[in-house]
Amino acid sequence: MTSDPLRTKLCDMLDIEYPIIAFTHCKDVVAAVVNAGGFAVLGEAMHSPDEIVADIKWIREKVGDKPYGIDLVLPSSVPPSDSLDKLKDDIPEEQRQFAERIIKEHDVPTPKAEVALHKWGGLNQDMARAQLDVVLEEKVPVFTSGLGNPAFILEAAHSRGIKVFGLVGRARQAKKELEAGIDAIIAQGTDAAGHTGPIGTFSLVPEVAAMAGDTPIIAAGGVTTGRHLAAAICLGAAGVWTGTLWLASRESDSDMIIKEKLLAATSDDTVYGRSVSGMPMRTLKCVWTDEWAKPDAPKTLPAPYQMLLSADYIQAANDHRREDLMFEAAGQGVGFVTEMKPARQIVFDLVEEALDVFDGITADADSAVPAGG
Ligand SMILES: Cc1cc2nc3c(=O)[nH]c(=O)nc-3n(C[C@H](O)[C@H](O)[C@H](O)COP(=O)(O)O)c2cc1C
């Protein structure tokens, strides 16, 4: 073991102190984590190009020369632009009626704001391209893609000094991205919040690490403590990528109702299914996911149709702050998120606990050496 097991090749690549990456939709969390010596990536898939430019400017003002990342989604089959109404017309009657029944039976109100799906890069080819162009023009230090293989962007990114990280849920996806020359792979297990595959973090990470050579592997899915960070390093990862961990932080702009739900949740309170977006996704359980899991529920629709069905429910639940309806993407490690701490404190607690774990292992090994041996 090196003298500092947390000083990994990811730290060297990014010039960061700790191999901890935060994925977040909140700029304040990005600034706090980066300034605490970690790394953070802002999810911008729902933002217009102008908003992305403004956010990048804001982050630069807060973190100076320190690196940060921007995340977009690049699904393989983004529908053509301006086709949302057409897509809605194609939703089959059975699923439409089932969604209407949920809305009626649970007294789900009408959303107050416009349902802003047209901005999501995953539903609009022009938007996805324009978002990507901004990331290239702004020469952000790191670009990551939560959905889709970013291999096609590598040349353009590398020529501008941008590193590209790909997020994968299966070893075969990792192989393709490694062959294309990706800078780092985030190996995300099924424990994770949001869109995720069926393979557990404990199986996926070492499998991907074994094929990665010098390319850093970053473990994701269920990482919410320093013990997880230490375990990830032992599995062959050069760092961790975390999402759930930051949702209830002081800086997080998540609704207080969501924060309280997360603080109270255990590993048994998340559900893995297709009812929210049509793709496998892990979230907190809620009325919507419970209803679609019932034996009499129709089959969920493929993306993007299922997303068009769930959008009104989600927007209404949030607009009206209906505690009984609201939910959020959350990973199985949520049970360890029990306090609303500042993001900086979360970074330091993770580091301290991981170092304690490594010290404990070393101390145990030392005491196991026979005298004179
Ligand atoms: C509220 C929330 C929203 C997310 N949205 C995205 C997203 O837009 N793009 C993406 O790449 N990953 C997204 N993720 C997944 C994270 O990037 C990360 O892979 C995941 O949270 C890791 O698992 P963990 O939550 O157990 O730490 C989201 C996660 C959360 C908690």
Q: Which domains does the chain have, with CATH numbers?
A: 1-78+124-253+339-367 (3.20.20.70), 79-117+254-336 (no CATH)
- The per-residue pLDDT for range 177-230, each reduced to its tens digit, is 999 999 999 999 999 999 999 999 999 999 999 999 999 999 999 999 999 999
Whole-model pTM: value is: 0.95
Alpha helices (H) in 295-342, listed in sequence order = 305-319
Which of 20, 23, 261 has most ligand 1 atoms within 8 Å of CB, for mutation?
23
What's the CA-to-centroid distance between 281 and ligand 1, angstroms? 10
- Measuring from atom 18 of ligand 1, which residue has the nearest CA? 243
215 lines ligand 1 (CB under 6 A): no
Nearest atom in ligand 1 to 243's CA? 21
Average pLDDT, the chain: 93
Q: What are the b/e assignments for 245-274, b being 16+ CB within 10 Å?
A: bbbbbbbbebeebbbebbeebeeebbbbbb
223 lines ligand 1 (CB under 6 A): yes
- The CA distance from 284 to 52, in Å, is 28
22 lines ligand 1 (CB under 6 A): no
Nearest atom in ligand 1 to 43's CA? 8
Tokens standing for 230?
Answer: 């230490």
Q: Quote the pLDDT of residue 81.
A: 53
287 lines ligand 1 (CB under 6 A): no
The burial of 104, by beta-carbon neighbours within 10 Å (0-12 exposed, 13-18 middle, 19 or more buried), is given as exposed
The mean per-residue pLDDT over the stretch 304-329 comes to 94
Can you tell me which residue has the tokens 């994701």?
A: 220
Nearest atom in ligand 1 to 332's CA? 26
